[in-house]
Structures are given as structure tokens and as C-alpha cells.
Amino acid sequence: MLSSFADHWLAGFAFTLRAGRQTKCCQALPSVFVDTLAGRIRCTDSGGEGPVILITPDGPNVIEHYEALVARLSSSCRVICFDMPGFGFSVPTAQYSHSLEQGSAAVLAVLDHFGVDKATLAFSCANGFYALHVAALAPARVAGLVLSQTPSLGAMHAWTGRIVPKALKIPVAGQVLGWLFREKAAIGWYRAALPPGTDAAPFQSVARSALHCGACFSLAGVVQGLLKEKRIAPNVVRTPCVLVWGTLDRSHRLTDPRSLLASVPHAELMEMLDCGHFPDLEGRHQFADVLIERAKVWTENQDTAFEKRKDQSHV
């Protein structure tokens, strides 16, 4: 598709244009690039023991926004943080259209590269749909899901209709306009997504630095890709799941935080009353405590279930 090629070309152009400055922008967390069918994906791995937690930022956030959260989590878990194709410094291929199938394959490719059999996925907003699709396709690879600000797919489509400019939904034109105004859109988004009175500068400065160094922000691509997806069928995902919702997210003031329960009825809703669109970052201490506790329990439960099935198979 021409829109996918435009995403790829513009992201690659920005990356090449700023390549000389990228190293200075990305020193906070050491990283590697993983070659996949979706593109070259930038990842950072804390190493260490314990359950594996896989995190991907919600653009325009990048890996550097997660430095403090990764440090907190890595005291008890192994944390792998990566930018989805088209975001941060992960340049997508010309065939990557941000579909659920392609995005899920990218997630699994990251797990395969690091030799991870299973992980707890802590994804947010639109990325939550990729996590859900991974859990449906490969349930043995997912110990549990902690999804922040992820409503039902239908509710997300309605949110897109209210929030995202119509021009970004037009193939190719949306990609070009999104690229031209990516910094303005990113900086403005933080003002709208954070609670009233919150200082957006710490978020904005990291995003601005990354964009100046060639980071991607393929908002048009992911919007166009997910608008083509239909609703998630009920009860297809049986993986343990916690839905984290920042109640002060002004962009989602008309969104029902319980809407995803129609497809994942066993999920537990946890509201974070002082947070906006980024509860994983805004309330990182509470978020980290919940994530660590759940990751340990879910991983142990899955290991126990596997051992029982293995024992029964030898009877």
C-alpha cells in the first residue's frame, strides 16, 4: 500500500537525516535493534532474574520516558521495553500497515529474539489491541496482560472520530501531514492528555529530543491501520488481565473504561484517580507495585499449570 510506503520512507528519511544526533538522544537506556518483518525494532533489556515484563510506549512516548519505571520494575523482574514499528526509533518496513496481525507478529519477534518463552505484557492505549491479539494467537507466551487506557475497539474507533483530525485518516496525505506536524502534534497532545494543572514539560522535552534526533511518530499509520480492524470477539482472550484507567484523561472523558469487558469479561478494572492518559508513568509507583505482584503470580500459576499438564501426559 502507498500509505505504508509513505510511513516507511518518511520514518527512514527522518532517521537518516538525524542519525548523527541520535546517539546523544538515546543514552539514557542502552538499546539494541532487532530486525523483524515489521521493521528494525529498538529494544532495551534490563536483564536479571524474575518474571519477564514486556513494555511498549504509547507514542509520542519513547523508551526514554520509561527509564524510571524500568528501574523500579527491574529490581524484581526482567524488563524488556521496545518501540513499536513506526514509533520511537523503530523504522517500519514498506509493507507494515499497523494491522493487528503485523503488530502481533512484531511483539512475538521481540520475545523470540530475547529467548523469552512467556511474559506479562504491559501495553497502553492502541498498543493494548496488539497485546490482546498476541494473547489470542499465542496464549502460552503471555502470562498476563496489564492494559492502560485501552477501551473496546469500537470505543477506540469512536475516540478516534472525536480526537484525531480527519486529514490523518486519509491514506498518504495523512502520513505526510502527520510527519510535517509531528512535533507540534506531540507537544500539544501532552497538554490534552495529562490532568489539568500538570506540568507537561518533562514529557514534552523527552519527546521533542527524540523527534529532533529522528524518532518516528506514525500516528496516521496506526489510526488508519486500526480503523480497518473489527471488534474483538468475546471470550477469545482468556489470559489474566488488569485494565488500568486514568480517570483524569480529558481525551477519554466520553469513553467508557468498562467497554473492553464486553470482550474480556474476566478482566479487572483498576482506576487511578489522579492520573490522565499515562497512568503507567504518572502513577508509576502504584503501577509498578501492581505489575510486579501480578507478573509474579501469573507466571507462577502458568508454570504450575504447565507442570500439571506435563505430569498428566506421562500418566
pLDDT in tens, 89-102: 999 999 999 999 99
Cell (9 digits) for 177:
501531514
Spatial neighbors of 138 by CB under 8 A, at least 6 apart, are 108
156-160, 165-169, 186-190, 306-310 — which is least confidently predicted?
306-310
Query: What is the C-alpha to C-alpha distance for residues 86 and 70, in angstroms, rounded to an integer?
Result: 22
- Which residue is it, cell 506421562? 314
Mean per-residue pLDDT of the chain: 91
Query: For residue 44, is pLDDT > 90?
Result: yes
Query: What is the C-alpha to C-alpha distance for residues 105 and 86, in angstroms, rounded to an integer?
Result: 14
Cell (9 digits) for 223:
489510526
Q: Rounded to an integer, what is the distance from CA 59 to the centroid of its chain?
A: 8
Query: For residue 314, is pLDDT > 50?
Result: no
Helices (H), 76-152: 100-113, 127-137
Query: For residue 53, is pLDDT > 90?
Result: yes
> What percentage of the chain reaches a pLDDT higher than 70?
91
Query: What is the C-alpha to C-alpha distance for residues 165 and 150, in angstroms, rounded to an integer?
Result: 20
Residue 262: burial class (beta carbons within 10 Å; 0-12, 13-18, 19+):
middle
5 backbone dihedrals φ, ψ, rounded to 5°: -65, -40
Residues 255-273 have pLDDT tens digits of 999 999 999 999 999 999 9
Query: What is the C-alpha to C-alpha distance for residues 283 and 16, in angstroms, rounded to an integer?
Result: 35
- Which residue is it, cell 470505543? 155
Residues 180-238 have pLDDT tens digits of 999 999 999 999 999 999 999 999 999 999 998 889 999 999 999 999 998 777 778 99
pLDDT of residue 24: 52
Contact between 135 and 237 (Cβ < 8 Å): yes
Residues 279-305 have pLDDT tens digits of 999 999 999 999 999 999 999 887 665
Side chain identity at residue 274, one-letter code: D
CB atoms under 10 Å from CB of 40, counted, come to: 16
Domains along the sequence of the chain with CATH: 2-309 (3.40.50.1820)
Spatial neighbors of 227 by CB under 8 A, at least 6 apart, are 157, 160, 169
Contact between 256 and 155 (Cβ < 8 Å): yes
Query: What is the C-alpha to C-alpha distance for residues 231 and 212, in angstroms, rounded to an integer?
Result: 36
Helices (H), 114-181: 127-137, 153-163, 173-180
- Which residue is it, cell 529494544? 43
More confident of the two residues 5 and 55: 55
Query: For residue 136, is pLDDT > 80?
Result: yes
pLDDT of residue 23: 45
| Nearest in space to 84 (alpha carbons), one of 186, 215, 206 | 215
pLDDT tier for residue 25 given thresholds of 50, 70 and 90? low
Q: How far apart are the first and last CA of the chain?
A: 53
Contact between 207 and 187 (Cβ < 8 Å): yes
pLDDT tier for residue 30 given thresholds of 50, 70 and 90? confident
| Nearest in space to 281 (alpha carbons), one of 190, 174, 182, 155 | 190
Query: For residue 126, is pLDDT > 50?
Result: yes
pLDDT of residue 9: 84
- The SS3 assignment for 139 reads helix
pLDDT of residue 193: 95
pLDDT of residue 22: 46
Contact between 138 and 107 (Cβ < 8 Å): no
